[in-house]
Amino acid sequence: MKRYFALVLMVVLAFSLTGCMDVETVPEEKNLEVLNALKGSTLEKTHEIDGFEFITTYNTGDYDLSRWRITDSKVINMTAEVTNVPEGATVEC
């Protein structure tokens, strides 16, 4: 009888501890950037940072994006360029 009581007590305690946990919610992001369809296999983004333009280009080469599979081996090339650099400013890599 004591074992049965101890088992019931442990089960009740376990349920009471899990029942007291708050459910975490994540707020929905309303201001997400929408990525337009790629031009062929290339995506180019221009980011303005303190008057500079930082241009990033991503390219999958000859990989057919319509056949994209998460498990396929791929090569994604990336280039970065800084434009509109004010006179006298220094850009270091």
Q: 93: which 2 tokens?
A: 């890599």
> What distances in angstroms separate CA 49 from CA 7, 31, 42, 58, 93, one per listed residue?
63, 19, 22, 19, 16
The count of other CB atoms within 10 Å of the CB of residue 17 is 9
- Does any domain span residue 25? no
Q: What is the pLDDT of residue 44?
A: 87
Q: What is the pLDDT of residue 21?
A: 61
Task: Count up the domains in the chain and report the number.
Answer: 1
**What order of strands is seen across the sheet that includes strand 77-83?**
42-49, 52-59, 77-83
45-62 residue pLDDT tens:
888 887 788 899 988 888
**Cα of 48 vs its chain's centroid, Å:** 20
pTM, full prediction = 0.51
d(CA 92, CA 52): 13
- Does any domain span residue 21? no
Domain that holds residue 67: 37-85
